[in-house]
Amino acid sequence: MMTQLIDSHTHIYAEEFDEDFSAMLQRAEESGVSQMVLPCVDSESWPLIQSLSEAYPQRLFPTIGLHPTYVKEDYEAQLSYLEQHFSVGIVAIGEIGLDYYWDTTFRSEQLKAFESQLRWAHQLGLPVILHVREAFRDTFDLLRSLQLPGLRGVFHSFTGSREELEEALSFEHFYIGINGVVTFKNSSLKEYVADIPLDRLVVETDAPYLAPVPKRGRRNEPAFLPYTASFVASCYQISDEELSARTSKNARRLFALPPR
Ligand SMILES: [Zn+2]
């Protein structure tokens, strides 16, 4: 049995969990995953996240932010809605970033929304959860040019190249979030994941997406996090217990989570 793991990124407020929410949380608890960070993606997800984190204090932790693939014509209205809902207990601004994989129609709007939200985090002294897909160059350039001293955060669902990993790690207050993708047969991430210093690594499910092997293709859920954690531990050639302890300590520090 592993020690406690923290799922640093999970969308358990999604409708995929409507049918079996409490059973799903119970399975998570039984597999050692008792605390989770719930990343907001837009104004529709916020009320769901807020009510769940009020219902499960000390276990589920809310963030607020506009995800880059949800940046459309109305992004300014979205941002002002989210800004009006800043509240005590929010552990991060996220998920925010740039995604040029699905669509680049709103590229300039994505950049503007990203910049505004990075400034929020800096002003509030909160970490950021970064979603970056096919957009590392612009992300790194923006982070550097804004010069927001002390800004900290996580490159969530990191699946970049070895070179991109090296550059991400050059942002010294940032962690790297690894999920089930690392277990996929066709992923080269496993070859260099252990280059991440152990004090910069966090793990996540990104449920309901990206279930790790041997659950690949199914709905992902927090109870599957130990598969990813154990796989990553084997890449570092350390025990599952050590991996759990290190990544939980990192997630707790990054998001200022209470002990469990
Ligand atoms: Zn996400």
Residue ranges covered by each domain of the chain: 5-15+33-255
Find tokens 């293709």 and name the residue: 217
Side chain identity, residue 34: S
Q: How many A from CA of 245 to the centre of ligand 1?
A: 23
- pLDDT at residue 260 in the model: 81
Closest CA to 93 of 166, 41, 54, 139: 41
Q: Is 62 helix (H, G, I), strand (E, B) or coil?
A: strand
- Cβ within 8 Å of residue 172, ≥6 positions away: none
Q: How many A from CA of 68 to the centre of ligand 1?
A: 11
Q: How many A from CA of 197 to the centre of ligand 1?
A: 23
| String of DSSP letters for 65-94 | ---GGG--TTHHHHHHHHHHT--TT---EE
The superfamily in CATH containing domain 5-15+33-255 is: Metal-dependent hydrolases (3.20.20.140)
- pLDDT at residue 192 in the model: 98
Q: Please tell me the distance from the alpha carbon of residue 227 to that of residue 62, in angstroms, as a whole number.
A: 24
Side chain identity, residue 119: R
Q: How many A from CA of 9 to the centre of ligand 1?
A: 6
Q: How many A from CA of 217 to the centre of ligand 1?
A: 17
Q: In degrees rounded to 5, what are phi and psi of residue 83?
A: -60, -35
User: Do residues 40 and 94 lie in contact, with contact meaning Cβ atoms separated by under 8 Å?
Assistant: yes
- pLDDT at residue 146 in the model: 97
182 alpha carbon, distance to own chain's centre: 15
Residues whose Cβ atom is located within 5 A of ion ligand 1 = 39
Q: Taking the alpha carbons of 228, 234, 238, 240 in that order, is the dihedral positive or negative?
A: positive
- Cβ within 8 Å of residue 22, ≥6 positions away: none
Q: How many A from CA of 239 to the centre of ligand 1?
A: 27
- What string of pLDDT tens digits covers the 260 residues of the chain? 457 999 999 999 999 999 999 999 999 999 999 999 999 999 999 999 999 999 999 999 999 999 999 999 999 999 999 999 998 899 999 999 999 998 899 999 999 999 999 999 999 999 999 999 999 999 999 999 999 999 999 999 999 999 999 999 999 999 999 999 999 999 999 999 999 999 999 999 999 999 999 999 999 999 999 999 999 999 999 999 999 999 999 999 999 999 88
Q: How many A from CA of 184 to the centre of ligand 1?
A: 18
Closest CA to 10 of 213, 226, 204: 204
Q: Please tell me the distance from the alpha carbon of residue 251 to that of residue 109, in angstroms, as a whole number.
A: 30
